[in-house]
Amino acid sequence: MNNFQRLEEEQIRQYDASKRRKVQNNLEHTFGLFKFIGQIVDVYLPAMIGVLISAAGGNNSGSKGPGRTPSEGGGHPGGVGPHPPNGGIARR
Amino acid sequence: MKDIEVIHNYLDTQATRCFNLLYERYAGKIYSKCISMLKDDVLAQDATQEIFTKIFLNLSRFGEKSKFSTWVYSITYNYCIDFLRRKKKQKDIFSDEMEKAAEPVDDLTSEKELLEMEISQLKTVLDNIPAGDRAVLLMKYQDGMSIKDISEVLDKTESAVKMKIKRAKAKAQVTKKEMFKEPHIQ
């Protein structure tokens, strides 16, 4: 170990538990916020785009809810609800 | 668990424990580089936070061409250099130093002197040389980075980096002589 590395060790010791915790908490808060914004965008953006297309007079029948299949109902233009009655209609 | 395994695990699961593991491994080292470069405790803490945010937002772009530590240090040094550049409003903290650079001295002698300096003296010397010189000396002697890695971090050619290190060592030696003048024996 040379004196540059000893200096580094000394400086790492200055980064005590309280500083470590403070920065870690701030980071967790930042990433929590990013995650929340990401979820909002994921859920609402496709719906907002659909509304804008409809408002502009277009046909948004091609759009679907995020990550949903037609059988899940919600978000699909032709859907009647989240669960089809009697276990759903058999597909061919 | 190796760094690369933790990274893959984090990218797959976004698990907090992976984040914590990488934070525990690198936070101290990043802070140490930031305080060496920025010379201010509060700025160094803020920089550590910003650098970790950058690292985690760009984790999927880590190409595994170099060691993860080299990639992390490269983000750290570039952040600090950009910060100082913005602060000093200098176009390039590396370019203008070439004009007023100290004359290179014998390479082996200057390296020996540099590595045998007392820690308190070394800290003072590093604090009193330009940021660009400080960065290359830390990369070479603290992080053990190769000339090739340093050249990639700084986006310079390998020969330019070699010359930069040589001049930085000379400048450190001159600074030491100026700041720690030995008393004359009569």
Structural domain boundaries, residue A32: 22-51
Domain finish residue from B54, B88, B122: B88
For residue B162, being part of any structural domain is answered with: yes
Query: Residue A23 and residue B47: Cα distance in Å, rounded?
Result: 10
End-to-end CA distance of chain A: 71
Q: Is there a contact between A3 and B116 (Cβ–Cβ < 8 Å)?
A: yes
The residue to which tokens 């003072």 are assigned: B124
Regarding whether B172 and B112 lie in a shared domain, the answer is yes
Determine the residue among B52, B137, B138 to mutate to test chain A binding: the one whose Cβ has the most chain A Cβ atoms within 10 Å: B52
The vertex-B52 CA angle with B50 and B53, nearest 5°, equals 65
Domain finish residue from B61, B88, B115: B88
Q: Which residues contact A65 (CB under 8 A, 6 or more apart)?
A: A46, A47, A72, A74, A75, A76
Q: Which residues contact A40 (CB under 8 A, 6 or more apart)?
A: none
For residue B142, being part of any structural domain is answered with: yes
Query: Residue A1 and residue B97: Cα distance in Å, rounded?
Result: 30
CA atoms B77, B80, B82, B84: torsion sign: negative
Domain finish residue from B88, B118, B142: B88
Considering only alpha carbons, which residue of chain B is nearest residue A13?
Answer: B28
Query: Residue A39 and residue A89: Cα distance in Å, rounded?
Result: 32
For residue A33, being part of any structural domain is answered with: yes
Structural domain boundaries, residue B31: 3-88
Q: Is there a contact between B165 and B123 (Cβ–Cβ < 8 Å)?
A: no
For residue A12, being part of any structural domain is answered with: no
For residue A41, being part of any structural domain is answered with: yes
Query: Residue B93 and residue B130: Cα distance in Å, rounded?
Result: 8
CATH code for position B152:
1.10.10.10
CATH code for position B23:
1.10.1740.10
For residue A37, being part of any structural domain is answered with: yes
Phi, psi values for residue B89, rounded to 5°: 55, 35
Query: What's the structural domain count of chain B?
Result: 2
Helix B41-57 to helix B68-88 angle, to the nearest 10 degrees?
A: 130
Per-residue pLDDT tens digits of chain B, which is 186 residues long: 889 999 999 888 888 888 899 999 999 999 999 999 999 999 999 999 999 999 999 998 898 888 999 999 999 999 999 999 888 765 555 654 544 555 555 666 678 888 888 999 999 999 999 999 999 999 999 999 999 999 999 999 999 999 999 999 999 989 988 888 766 655
Nearest to A12 among B29, B49, B57 (CB): B29
What proportion of chain A, given as a percentage, has pLDDT over 70? 64
Regarding whether B10 and B84 lie in a shared domain, the answer is yes
**Contact residues, chain A, for B28 at CB < 8 Å:** 12, 15, 20
Considering only alpha carbons, which residue of chain A is nearest residue B112?
Answer: A2
ipTM: 0.83
pTM above 0.80, yes or no: no
Name the minimum distance, in Å, from the CA of B123 to any CA of chain A.
7
Q: What is the pLDDT of residue B107?
A: 65
Helix B68-88 to helix B3-13 angle, to the nearest 10 degrees?
A: 80
C-beta atoms of B27 and A23 within 8 A: yes
Among residues B140, B129, B138, B130, which one has the least CA distance to residue B93?
Answer: B130
Query: What's the structural domain count of chain A?
Result: 1
Q: What is the pLDDT of residue A84?
A: 42
Q: What is the pLDDT of residue B116?
A: 86
Query: Residue B24 and residue B27: Cα distance in Å, rounded?
Result: 6
Residue A57's region, left for phi above 0, alpha for psi from -120 to 50, else beta, is left
Name the minimum distance, in Å, from the CA of A44 to any CA of chain B.
22
